[in-house]
Amino acid sequence: MSSSGHGSSHPPHPHVALLPSAGIGHLTPFLRFAVSLISQQCQVTLITTHPIVSLAESELISTFLAAFPEEQFHLLPFDPTTASSTDPFALKWESIRRSAHLLYPLLASLSPPLSALVSDVSLISSVVAVTETLTLPNYILFPSSARMFSFFAYYPTLLSKIAGSDHFDSCDEVLQVPGGKPIPKSSLPPPLLDPSSLFSSIFTEDSKKLGKLDGILINTFEELEPDSLHDLRAEKAQGLPKVFTVGLKACEFERSSSSNTATLMKWLDGHLTGTVVFFCFGSRSAMTREQIREIGKGLLASGSPFLWKVKDNILDKEDAESLDVVLGDELWERINEKGMVVKEWVCQAEILGHRAVGGFVSHCGWNSITEAVWHGVPLLAWPISAEVVDKRGFGVWPKTWGWAGGVMVKGEEIGSRIKEMMGSESVKQKAAMLREEARKAIGAGGCCENALMELIGAWKI
């Protein structure tokens, strides 16, 4: 679409600016992508927004910056009461969107001149105005699956179908997206099912601007989502930009040197291969105390040793309550005898790579799925991108559990589903197969490396 008229000549290696939005789930793929670009001799400028919303993000950025440079982009003051949301991450997206016009002088002044900007999906509308003025090629790095991208692209049409109603409640239990199979409503973030939410309005506004982009980068690979990718390529003919499958994996700079990590790794070292259940629900999915306690009972009932990251608050800065209070004294004592329980940030990608881990109970954020796939760890999915787990057979998806927090799931059921995941040979085999496919796709000469080389080739022109 846009050709780069930004600067008169380009350096032999492209200079790419990366602009993530708020939340570790959005930041992490950007940093991993930055490392892929740098390993191909590209120059990368990471643009971070200030202030940052969670401790986990500040710490990950600091670790990254110990190795690579950064530009800062200060946000305009933002009054959260002017946006219809209480979600701290959605509010931060909105705040960045309202400041994005300030990017113009920063992008225009970078030297050598930029070959492209890759920004977060939640910033499309505000960034397009800037890149059009600069005639700078504009890409997004989509932080979820190809399947979810199809949903995003079709979202305004779905909304128009329920025009006049204020909710998707009137729709079937599944939502039909062209080319693909229907998406069960239970696997979608609840705010997207509420057209009056901030998340829904950002999705709608940005989706309509997709045609103005030069390409869509998705952290996936052919064998993980063959049908969804096939369908998206068919959609390209109907005006969607080209999709690049930039499969991403955890990087060296993320390796943790904390004493907390050393303790967890040592604990895992003491267990037999494939016996430990790892429970972690991502960076922003908190649960009620009641559900947390049922999970504790479920982990005990599973009979497996477990490593459990408890999350009591959406925002880590506010996650201050001690575990005996969160779990209650009696459960805390019983759990302490059987498993390792922590509240602080854990090095998930490293834990998944430990030979002792045999199963992962996950909220199925896309980064978590791709990390589990990379290490061939079976999943018990609860449920963001759970469909893919079910369809590709590398885990168990109890469909009635719904979106985490929506339905109260009893400990007994959690325990028996964990046993099902840990005991299934077919799930283990599929996870192991997909692990090999991931390594082929992301390794030398694989489809993801080819996609990256194609992008870099386009940026050199």
Q: Which residues bind ligand UDP (CB under 6 A)?
A: 23-25, 28, 145, 147-148, 180-181, 187, 225-228, 280, 282-285, 309, 345-349, 365-368, 371, 385, 387-388, 391-392
SS3 content of the chain, % helix, strand, coil (to 5): 50, 15, 35
Q: Which residue is nearest to ligand UDP (CB)?
A: 25
State in angstroms the smallest separation of the CB of 380 from ligand UDP.
15
Cα angle for residues 283, 287, 293 (degrees, 5° grid): 125
Min. distance of Cβ 99 from ligand UDP in angstroms?
22
87 catalytic residue (yes or no) = no
Q: Judged by CB, which is closer to ligand UDP: 22, or 331? A: 22
Q: Which 3-state string (H, E, C) describes 14-78?
A: CEEEEECCCCHHHHHHHHHHHHHHHHCCCEEEEEEEECCCCHHHHHHHHHHHCCCCEEEEECCCC
Paired strand residues for 48 = 72
Closer Cβ to ligand UDP, 13 or 391, answer by number: 391
Exactly one of 120, 206, 231, 390 is catalytic; name it.
120
* Cα four-point dihedral sign 416, 397, 297, 267: positive
Residue 269 CB, nearest approach to ligand UDP (Å):
19
**Buried b or exposed e, range 371-387, using 16+ CB within 10 angstroms:** bbbbbbbbbbbbbbbbb
Instruction: Based on the residue annotation, tell me whether 10 is a catalytic residue of this protein.
Output: no
Q: Classify the phi-psi angles of 83: left when phi > 0, otherwise alpha if psi is within -120 to 50, otherwise beta.
A: beta
User: Beta-carbon neighbour count of residue 272 at 10 Å?
Assistant: 10
Q: Assign 366 to helix, strand or coil.
A: helix
Of the two residues 295 and 458, which places its CB atom closer to ligand UDP in the complex? 295
Of the listed 6, 15, 26, 363, which one is catalytic? 26
Minimum CB distance to ligand UDP smaller for 279 or for 459: 279
The residue whose two tokens read 């009641």 is 290
Q: What radius of gyration do the chain's Cα atoms show?
A: 22
Whether omega before 51 lies within 30 degrees of 0, making that bond cis, reads yes
Query: In the bound complex, what is the minimum distance in angstroms from residue 202's beta carbon to ligand UDP?
Result: 16
Residue 432 tokens read as: 């192991």
Pick between residue 24 and residue 42 the one whose CB is nearest to ligand UDP.
24
> Looking at 82-123, which runs of residues are DSSP E strands?
116-120
CA pair distance 72, 62, nearest whole angstrom: 13
d(CA 89, CA 94): 9
Of the pair 377, 422, the CB lying nearest ligand UDP is at 377
**How far is C-alpha 343 from the geometric centre of its chain's CA atoms?**
20
* Amino acid identity for residue 109 in this structure: S
In the three-class reduction of DSSP (H, G, I as helix; E, B as strand; rest coil), residue 99 is classed as helix
**Closest distance to ligand UDP from the beta carbon of 76 (Å):** 25
CA distance 126 to 149: 19
Q: What's the token pair of residue 34?
A: 């930055």
Residue 150 or residue 207: which is nearer to ligand UDP going by CB? Answer: 150
Closest approach of ligand UDP to the CB of residue 13, in Å: 28
Instruction: Report the DSSP pairing between strands 116-120 and 395-396.
Output: unpaired
**Least distance (Å) between residue 258 CB and ligand UDP:** 12
Please give the Cα distance from 272 to 444 (Å, whole number). 32
Which residue's CB is nearer to ligand UDP, number 180 or number 215?
180
CB proximity list for 415: less than 8 A, separation 6 or greater = 297, 298, 299, 300, 301, 302, 303
**Closest distance to ligand UDP from the beta carbon of 226 (Å):** 4
Q: Which residues are catalytically annotated?
A: 26, 120
